[in-house]
Amino acid sequence: MTQQTWLTQEAYDRLRSELDYLTGPWRTEIATKIEAAREEGDLKENGGYHAAKEEQGKQEARIRQLTDLLRDAQVGEAPAATGEAGPGTVVEVRFSGERETEKFLIGSREDHSTPIEVFSPASPLGGAVSGHKAGETVSYTLPNGRSAKVEIVSVSPYSG
């Protein structure tokens, strides 16, 4: 099952621009670097060649990541207010034993256009609150294996 990701238009445009650069000018640049290094001779001891090939591998992985993210992204306006937490919503929570609340956006960690913290719906906390409404308390497993509880205080569509 593919995980749909919600992105602001600004984030989508920035990521699309990065992908366009990587699949166009960058591929030409790296091919030129690799060819120039290859012409220097013995590939076994050619540091420039190996560095260029390593860079190529990393950026090709980034291209695949961006392609998948943008293909499945929901862009623009946040979903209609249903009161249910999910991609494109701002969730206010209170952790068990705490007085203060915290707010975060459920969206893509790639979205740097928002002033509030972003949690992916695939993250432990983002996944735990998704599909739940204000007033509900949910449990989830922390990365260290411990269990935590959080009360959902409010859910609202992201408004920028």
Q: What are the backbone angles phi and psi of residue 120, rounded to the nearest 5°?
A: -70, 150
Domains and CATH numbers, the chain: 5-75 (1.10.287.180), 89-157 (3.10.50.30)
Average pLDDT over residues 107-119: 76
Q: What is the pTM of this model?
A: 0.60
Per-residue pLDDT of 93-105, as tens digits, reads 999 888 999 999 8
**Confidence grade of residue 1 (pLDDT, cut at 50, 70, 90):** very low
pLDDT score at 25: 94
Give the CA count within 13 Å in the CB-facing half-sphere of 109: 7
